[in-house]
Structure 1
């Protein structure tokens, strides 16, 4: 079977565009995060919820693309396709993080100048696999499971969801899947509302607390997206990209709810957003109708850069964070020109990475896989 035969279904261009909108908001979140004093006063306060939105989008797309094709696809071929799609940018993100590691000079990371080259390279090669490094190998000192490119933690949990889907959950009936999603929703709401910080933020450290948070964060949205792909009957909605983009921005740019005295209120807000609002946005996006070439091009561009942008922006953000830490008291007015430069530079780097690395590498991997299949086929028919 030709690998490309699995890519014949029509696309959801609006969902691609929404992924790009959320990816840009993630960058703005990481650019405002070091200017805050904690969870309560970050300007882009709920930007981290974009990860939960990505999980839901992924579950929807996986269900749509693969649910009805298991009769002609093995678990092994599914994983090969996922690795081919995800790993090239993971590798590039780690390489960029490693290159920048010794060029960030800041008191915020005192460990950097004591790390031997072999240890940094070892962390980089482990990072290529998406496997987390233990705290003993945290060469940056931020307790990250991927110290060279922090955001890769979400890919670790996405792989876990993909594995669970492929080895068993794909076989669940809609009723069984609905039960799983309901239990996961309760667990997510409990986490958000009872959290010491009143939010779902977490998942990037290799310890029991963060593994618990990361697992709960991926279980509901990913498998809710899968369920949505099975039961949703998209209609035709005009201007869906505009309205859905505004909804995504509203949710992620919403200021903190409840303050320090009522943390549970913010947890309730995040629960409602992840459990109800995000599926609604994905449904509306899947139902949307593209009007005109401009909107189609915008959605395509945003969709194309979304994944590369997510994985290449943080190595640049490390430089920005170092600058802020070396200049105590920097205000948003002073920082915004540098933040805008990082945002623009990240988008340019993402597009260059897509065109000069990600797409060529994935094309090469597909050709190699097709050649191997053809050789195996010829070998069998010649017997």
Structure 2
């Protein structure tokens, strides 16, 4: 979310602006279009498509380092979860730090529904009509699919994480569960933060609460394995909450930096350090990626393994998401004008390469249609493999990824033009009378639904 911050000009915020320094060029960007986060989403969407294609062809399951690194692309999932935490929690983080009323829950939920479901319903209906076969007449099956509640079916008739052509939608179900739960999480964090008399005290309480949520997400792994294994719980929200909490913490830090007391406190210094070190942060993220590629983090094909493997996988996911997103989420606004070209030396000084990469026109184009690419990729993949007569775990990744990518992009463009944008514009006709609703809308304009594995 990206509402306009008032705190830097508010004497009660403890962070008044000075004439000597324009703090908008030093503090994290919290309003306007955040192109760096959009770019991360676009890159992660492509990574997810690579994982799906390489799994179907068997390349990611093959022994050796190449297969292991391909399978580790599933770390795109926590990226999308954390991005949702950053963008959607920010209005609540602001209101909690300022001690004022938060955004409208009704407006927030309405816009989430209209952002997620219209395009999803189109793709889900296509997949069901193509492959549901004897389940076409099942009201229960249609209801579970159309409401994204099929991951809660503890005795499914399908193999894998979801019905044929919709296997990736388990992660969208987790997202929707988070959307529904976020106002409650925000309320609990707000009530807990009220015990702090200053902005800094409230900020510390919010971060402490998010640490507790993360710890609880690890404890939620226990009933997944004891007293007996329940693999379907791998597709539920509780074990993923730590990944969302990372994004919520980054949203809190970005808003807290504007309000921190004193001329230059630890929160501001932390934000500046992370924003100025994208290369180092991504190098640490790469180490987490390599760890995910090892057997310690579980199997390669939606196989949670055992409790300790899931603990490692969750810790790896949280660390990877934090170090990839933090340099962008905590960065100040980009300089005015177009970014430097990546081929120039200016793009490689002071971490400017991240902004230059994320604002490249190819990234900007792809960022607009990531949700559609996520929705359509399995439909396109299975239609292509049916057309070429390929069996499961056979074929060539290099020969499949190109047509599947092109087909997914074309369908995503159609969905964006004729379903997503009309739904979004129509939904804005509601709940726009109050100022709080308008602020919420500014932030949600950037938040996209996920493109997970």
TM-score (norm 1): 0.71
What is residue 293 of structure 2 aligned with on the other side?
A: 256
- Aligned equivalents of 2:173, 2:426: Cα separation in 1: 24
- Cα distance 1:13–1:239, how it changes in 2: closer, same or farther (>3 A)? farther
Q: Are residue 225 (structure 1) and residue 247 (structure 2) matched? A: yes
Aligned pairs (5 A) from 1:77-88: 77-88=107-118
Q: Are residue 131 (structure 1) and residue 149 (structure 2) matched? A: yes
What is residue 267 of structure 2 aligned with on the other side?
A: none
Q: Which of 61, 76, 92 pairs up with 1:50?
A: 76
- Cα distance 1:191–1:161, how it changes in 2: closer, same or farther (>3 A)? closer
Deviation, 1:159, is 2.2
Deviation, 1:330, is 3.2
Q: Are residue 68 (structure 1) and residue 132 (structure 2) matched? A: no
Decide whether the 8 Å contact of 1:138 with 1:144 is kept in 2. Answer: no
Q: Are residue 151 (structure 1) and residue 194 (structure 2) matched? A: no
Aligned pairs (5 A) from 1:292-303: 292=338, 295=356, 296=359, 297-303=361-367
Decide whether the 8 Å contact of 2:298 with 2:313 is kept in 1. Answer: no
Q: 2:94 is paired with a residue of what secondary structure?
A: coil
- Cα distance 1:261–1:159, how it changes in 2: closer, same or farther (>3 A)? closer
- Aligned equivalents of 2:54, 2:35: Cα separation in 1: 29
Deviation, 1:185, is 3.9
Q: Are residue 30 (structure 1) and residue 52 (structure 2) matched? A: yes
Decide whether the 8 Å contact of 1:46 with 1:251 is kept in 2. Answer: no
Q: Which of 109, 113, 118 pairs up with 2:137?
A: 118
Deviation, 1:308, is 1.8
Higher mean displacement: 259-268 or 270-279:
259-268
- Aligned equivalents of 2:135, 2:223: Cα separation in 1: 41
Q: 1:352 is paired with a residue of what secondary structure?
A: helix
- Cα distance 1:352–1:246, how it changes in 2: closer, same or farther (>3 A)? farther
- Aligned equivalents of 2:385, 2:80: Cα separation in 1: 25
Q: Deviations over 1:75-134 (max 9, x none)?
A: 222211211222222212212322432xxxxxxxxxx55x15323x76345423222276
- Aligned equivalents of 1:229, 1:320: Cα separation in 2: 41
What is residue 376 of structure 1 aligned with on the other side?
A: none
Deviation, 1:271, is 4.2
Decide whether the 8 Å contact of 1:90 with 1:152 is kept in 2. Answer: no
Higher mean displacement: 4-13 or 65-74:
4-13
Q: Which of 401, 418, 422 pairs up with 1:339?
A: 401
Deviation, 1:195, is 9.3
Aligned pairs (5 A) from 1:1-383: 9-36=31-58, 41=63, 42=67, 44-68=70-94, 71=101, 73-101=103-131, 113=133, 115=134, 117-119=136-138, 123-132=141-150, 135=153, 138=156, 141-142=158-159, 144-167=161-184, 168-171=187-190, 172-173=192-193, 174-186=203-215, 208-211=230-233, 214-232=236-254, 233=257, 234-235=271-272, 237=275, 256-258=293-295, 270-286=313-329, 287=331, 289=334, 292=338, 295=356, 296=359, 297-320=361-384, 326-327=390-391, 330-332=394-396, 335-367=397-429, 369=430
- Cα distance 1:123–1:340, how it changes in 2: closer, same or farther (>3 A)? same
Aligned pair count? 343
Decide whether the 8 Å contact of 1:45 with 1:254 is kept in 2. Answer: no
The runs of 5 or more residues in structure 1 that have no matched partner are 102-111, 197-206, 374-383
Decide whether the 8 Å contact of 1:124 with 1:148 is kept in 2. Answer: no
The runs of 5 or more residues in structure 2 that have no matched partner are 6-29, 194-202, 258-270, 300-304, 342-355, 435-453
Q: Deviations over 1:131-174 (max 9, x none)?
A: 227659956x2154555522222222222222222023452434
Compare the two structures and name the one with the higher helix fraction.
1
- Aligned equivalents of 2:122, 2:62: Cα separation in 1: 34
